[in-house]
Structure 1
Amino acid sequence: MSKTDASAADMVKAKSKQKVKDKAKRKSKKDSQLVLRLDKEERDAFVELCKDLDTSAAREIRRFIRDFMREHEED
């Protein structure tokens, strides 16, 4: 294995380890659920729109909650 191949392999390993750490960190923060009911058609349209925008429904709902809370926090 050449020196370049070895350093490239080391970079891949480092990135892989970082992804695992990042995923564990994100997962540990989300330990609660919010259940809501809505029409199937509305839910499906929302999920499809999120896919089209390359995001997830959960991510957008979490973003809405954070923005809503920031907007309504007491000064």
Structure 2
Amino acid sequence: MTDQKKAKKKALKDSQLIVRIAGSERDRFVSLCDTLDTSAAREIRRFIRGFLKEHDDQLDGQ
């Protein structure tokens, strides 16, 4: 991986979000992600990006 790609990757993922959910829900979610050949983190990021895009007009004044 080039230095430019490393810098871009680091810049994109420089924060964490801790979410508390029931262990059984987490286990089911992770298991389903494995079945679908994706990762839990990837799907959470996809949800967040879609949610932001859907509600982008509400963020204009902030």
> Which gives a bigger RCO, structure 1 or 2 (Cα 8 Å, sep 6+)?
2
* Matching residue of 2:35: 52
Gaps spanning 5+ residues in structure 2: where?
none
The number of residues matched between the two structures is 56
Which structure 2 residues correspond to residues 51-70 of structure 1 after superposition, within 5 A?
Answer: 51-70=34-53
Gaps of 5+ in 1: 1-19
Residue 29 (structure 1) shift: 1.6
Measured on the aligned residues, the alpha-carbon RMSD in Å equals 1.9
TM-score normalised by length of structure 2: 0.79
The normalised TM-score by structure 1 is 0.66
1:34 paired with 2:21, answer no
Q: Provide the secondary structure at the position in 1 that maps to 2:16.
A: coil
Q: Distance in 2 between matches of 1:23 and 1:51?
A: 27
Determine what percentage of the aligned residue pairs are the same residue. Answer: 61
Decide which structure has greater helix share: 1
